[in-house]
């Protein structure tokens, strides 16, 4: 369903207000060839109406000769900012960067954030942005999830399909995504809504069984037959199954990097306005699949880099796998039961600074 500009401008105004945009702030809108034109013009209009000094930085795409897909997350090598000192300086001089290009897992992004600049990624179709406009309710729900992860020593994940995974915790920070950037140096993604962390290096052990209906990203496909992953010392060491398992193996092998098999971030979705079925309603090139990543009660795990958390893995391969019908425990406390968030644990904890 098409979105009216007036509605999308209103949505951007809400997000920018939550992101504490002030009159006179410097905003740079980062774009590339695949940036959605309506999202771009409405973002610029909303920021300008709020009194910001707005510029657009348009950069050419890269990595086409290396990637097996047009998905922006299918190859995480160099970025359009690599070696571009002028563009990097412009972004670091901004108070807020609206990323309509997809700049992720890069040293340049870390450098920009370290300067105090805030970055908000927004690349989903306008109607998806409209359906999941972030709110303070999202913020408090995600913070409740973060509180359940902080200080924990182990996450265990099980399922009726056969998953039994143990992930020791504590070496890496807990991260929250709630859809706006309210602090200097913060990155977030609109739409989103989940809490996650990274397991201790080389420590995850067990078995993951992807069942029918689970989702592979960036393939953007529903699993049609079981795929079994054996995890030893933090790495997937076996991928077993039929044709889909073979295709999955081939994709990872194409990167020629053993770090592509490492367990990366782990966590669970908390967004009530996200839907598992949405992926099947879009062309694969139209969406990043954020509904699947954020849908309330999923177990989301990733393979590949951990440099976003301060780790040393910078592999170009990044695979997100949202799973349904899992049980998630942190230090024995069940936070997700058969794919449903234990809502009694999600009571909002309001903070005076943001109330």
Angstrom distance (rounded) from CA 26 to CA 13: 16
pLDDT, tens digit (0-9, with 9 covering 90-100), for 265-278: 999 999 999 999 99
pLDDT average, residue stretch 315-320: 94
Total Cβ atoms within 10 A of residue 109: 22
Angstrom distance (rounded) from CA 273 to CA 296: 8
Q: Residue 131's pLDDT band (boundaries 50, 70, 90)?
A: very high
Angstrom distance (rounded) from CA 242 to CA 225: 8
Mean of per-residue pLDDT scores for the chain: 94
Is the pTM for the entire model greater than 0.85?
yes
Angstrom distance (rounded) from CA 257 to CA 160: 32
Instruction: Please give the structure tokens belonging to residue 267.
Output: 């966590």
Domains and CATH numbers, the chain: 5-131 (3.40.50.2300), 136-346 (no CATH)
- What's residue 352's pLDDT? 36
Looking at the chain, the whole-number percentage of residues with pLDDT higher than 70 is 98
Sign of the CA dihedral with 234 first, then 157, 211, and 344 last: negative
Cα→Cα distances 171→68, 143, 258, 319, 328, Å? 33, 20, 21, 22, 19
Nearest to 286 by CA among 11, 13, 39, 106: 39
Total Cβ atoms within 10 A of residue 89: 11
199 pLDDT higher than 60: yes
14 pLDDT higher than 50: yes
Listed in sequence order, the residues at least 6 apart from 229 whose beta carbon sits closer than 8 Å to its beta carbon are: 207, 208, 209, 210, 236, 238, 239, 240
Cα within 13 Å of Cα(77), Cβ side = 12
Angstrom distance (rounded) from CA 2 to CA 63: 31
Instruction: Please give the structure tokens belonging to residue 13.
Output: 């105004």
């Amino acid at each position: 369903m098409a979105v009216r500009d007036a509605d999308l401008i209103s949505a951007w105004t809400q997000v920018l207000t939550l992101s504490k945009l002030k009159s006179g702030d410097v905003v740079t809108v980062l774009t590339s060839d695949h940036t959605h034109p309506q999202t771009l013009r409405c973002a610029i209009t909303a920021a300008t109406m709020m009194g910001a000094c707005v510029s657009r930085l348009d950069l050419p795409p890269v990595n086409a000769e290396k990637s097996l897909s047009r998905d922006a997350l299918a190859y995480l090598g160099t970025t359009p900012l690599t070696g571009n000192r002028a563009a990097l300086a412009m972004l670091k001089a901004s108070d807020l960067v609206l990323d309509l290009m997809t700049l992720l897992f890069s040293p340049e992004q870390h450098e920009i954030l370290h300067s105090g600049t805030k970055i908000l990624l927004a690349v989903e179709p306008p109607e998806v942005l409209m359906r999941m406009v972030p709110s303070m309710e999202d913020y408090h729900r995600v913070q409740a999830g973060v509180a359940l992860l902080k200080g924990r020593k182990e996450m265990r994940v099980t399922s009726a399909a056969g998953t039994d995974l143990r992930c020791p915790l504590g070496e890496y920070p807990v991260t929250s995504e709630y859809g706006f950037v309210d602090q200097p140096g913060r990155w977030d993604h609109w739409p989103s809504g989940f809490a996650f962390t990274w397991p201790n290096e080389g420590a995850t052990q067990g078995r993951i069984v992807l069942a029918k209906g689970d989702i592979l990203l960036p393939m953007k496909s529903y699993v049609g037959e079981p795929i079994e992953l054996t995890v030893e010392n933090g790495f997937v060491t076996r991928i077993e199954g039929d044709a889909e398992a073979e295709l999955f193996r081939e994709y990872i092998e194409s990167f020629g990097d053993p770090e592509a098999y490492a367990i990366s971030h782990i966590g669970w979705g908390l967004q009530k306005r996200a839907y598992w079925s949405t992926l099947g309603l879009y062309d694969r090139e139209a969406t990043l699949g954020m509904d699947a990543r954020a849908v309330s009660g999923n177990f989301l795990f990733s393979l590949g880099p951990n440099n976003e958390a301060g780790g040393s893995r910078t592999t170009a391969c990044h695979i997100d796998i949202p799973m349904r019908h899992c049980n998630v425990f942190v230090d024995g406390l069940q936070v997700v039961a058969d794919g449903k968030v234990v809502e009694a644990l999600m009571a909002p904890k309001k903070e005076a600074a943001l109330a």
